[in-house]
A and B are shown apart, each in its own frame.
Chain A
């Protein structure tokens, strides 16, 4: 991990990796969405609405994985004082918030024809909405801390505390009576037929590659901004 603490070494890896992640991500996501939309079968009970699965489930996974990445980066920031950890946490926040919002929006679009309602204040939906608010809070806090030259440990503590919501989201459908179905995929296997499972896994992998590409691009942008500002300050100090 500390091998990439040096931004130059990190950029040496991130620059060639970004277009590969983008290319593979677009290819897999595009293929899986076309498959899910046009070629995958309709489901016996849910009919055609099951096609929303191929957007909704990857979005839910990345909404939760994004915050888990923030918590991991926050831990690296606080425990090991890794120089790129704060940047990695900030870089994961915007795509994480986007996918949490996409999960809520597509869930709502699925809920209306499937359950007869756009929204229900049950455990799964409410905890996912709380995750979106946590993201917005983190983005505001980390941005303000960076602007005001504050300690990056403050958003890091927020990132670690907020991760408690991730298992709540996951287990909410088991802990409380929920309108949402229980998980179909677990470490023990899948309750889904292969004709639904395969395009779903491809879509999830493709979206994950795009998420990783966005995180790398945002890290590169944040590093470049920091370097440009440091250079400006040095120049101002030398002139003064």
Chain B
């Protein structure tokens, strides 16, 4: 018979991965975009 596991640690872990990972992806993309556009605008001057 399968052991009964407390489901909440698994639910917490899935939400933490989803939220932290998505925030990191969006933040990293934003910073990379800002850096590249600043560099381009710097070259223009």
Binding site for B on A (CB under 8 A): 22, 29, 33, 37, 47-49, 51-52, 55-56, 59, 94-95, 98, 102, 105-106, 109-110, 112-113, 116, 207, 210, 213-214, 217-218, 220-222, 224-225, 227-228, 231-232
Partner of B26, one of A213, A222, A224: A213
Query: Are A33 and B33 closer than 8 Å at their CB atoms?
Result: no
B34 CB to nearest chain A CB (Å):
8
Query: Are B36 and A106 closer than 8 Å at their CB atoms?
Result: no
Sample 19 A-B pairs with CB under 8 A, ordered by A number: A48-B11, A59-B18, A98-B25, A105-B14, A105-B17, A109-B10, A112-B10, A210-B26, A213-B26, A213-B29, A214-B25, A217-B32, A218-B29, A224-B33, A227-B43, A228-B36, A228-B39, A228-B40, A231-B43
Interface majority SS (helix, strand, loop, mixed), chain A: helix
Q: Closest residue to A111 on the B side, CB-wise?
A: B10
Partner of B18, one of A94, A102, A222, A224: A102
> Chain B, 1-20, contact with A by CB distance < 8 Å: what is the 0/1 string?
01101011011011101110
Q: How large is the interface on B (under 10, 10 to 19, 20 to 34, 35 or more residues)?
A: 20 to 34
A residues within 8 A CB of B5?
112-113
Query: Are A106 and B14 closer than 8 Å at their CB atoms?
Result: yes
Evaluate whether A224 and B15 lie within 8 angstroms (CB atoms) in the complex, with A98-B25, A217-B29 already known. no
Query: Are A106 and B40 closer than 8 Å at their CB atoms?
Result: no
Instruction: List the 9 closest pairs (A to B, CB-CB), nearest first.
Output: A55-B18, A224-B36, A224-B40, A221-B36, A48-B7, A217-B29, A228-B40, A221-B33, A217-B33
Evaluate whether A231 and B15 lie within 8 angstroms (CB atoms) in the complex, with A214-B29, A221-B32, A224-B36 already known. no
A residues within 8 A CB of B13?
109
Partner of A102, one of B10, B21, B36, B37: B21
A221 to B3 Cα, complex, angstroms: 49
B residues within 8 A CB of A214?
25-26, 29
Query: Are B10 and A113 closer than 8 Å at their CB atoms?
Result: yes
Evaluate whether A33 and B19 lie within 8 angstroms (CB atoms) in the complex, with A48-B8, A113-B5, A214-B29 already known. yes
Query: Are B25 and A106 closer than 8 Å at their CB atoms?
Result: no
Query: Are A220 and B43 closer than 8 Å at their CB atoms?
Result: no
The residue among A55, A56, A222 with the most chain B CB atoms within 10 A of its own CB is A55
A residues within 8 A CB of B29?
94-95, 213-214, 217-218, 221
